[in-house]
Amino acid sequence: MIFYFDKISSTMDIAHILANKGYPHGTVIVAEEQTQGRGRFKRKWHSPKGGLWFSIIFRPENLKTIKAGFLGIIIGFSVLKTLESFLKDIKLNFKWPNDIEYEGKKVAGILLESVYEKELEYIIAGIGINLQVDPEEIKDLKAFSLKNYITIPDKNILLLEILKELEKNLDNFPNNWKAIFEFYKNKFPYIGKEAIIKNKNSKAKVIDITEDGGIVLSINKKIERYEWGGVSLEFEGISN
How large is the average pLDDT for residues 185-210? 91
For the chain, what is the domain count?
Answer: 2
Are residues 211 and 160 both part of a single domain? no
How large is the average pLDDT for residues 77-90? 94
CATH number at residue 138: 3.30.930.10
Are residues 117 and 134 both part of a single domain? yes
Q: Give the residue among 79, 65, 77, 67 at the shortest CA–CA distance from 181.
A: 77
Q: Burial of 141 by CB count in 10 Å (0-12 exposed, 13-18 middle, 19+ buried)?
A: middle
pLDDT value of position 239: 44
Q: Are 240 and 72 in contact (CB under 8 A)?
A: no
How large is the average pLDDT for residues 127-150? 90
How large is the average pLDDT for residues 3-22? 96
Are residues 93 and 200 both part of a single domain? no
Cα-based distances in Å from 25 to 20, 30, 48, 141, 225: 12, 15, 27, 33, 31
Q: Give the residue among 215, 235, 211 at the shortest CA–CA distance from 224.
A: 215
Q: Among residues 169, 186, 203, which one ends one of the domains?
A: 186
Are residues 219 and 133 both part of a single domain? no
Q: What percent of the chain has pLDDT over 90?
A: 70
Cα-based distances in Å from 103 to 79, 145, 222: 18, 12, 30
- How much is the pTM? 0.91
Question: In whole numbers, what is the pLDDT of the chain averaged over residues?
Answer: 91
User: What is the residue range of 175's domain?
Assistant: 2-186
Q: What percent of the chain has pLDDT over 70?
A: 96
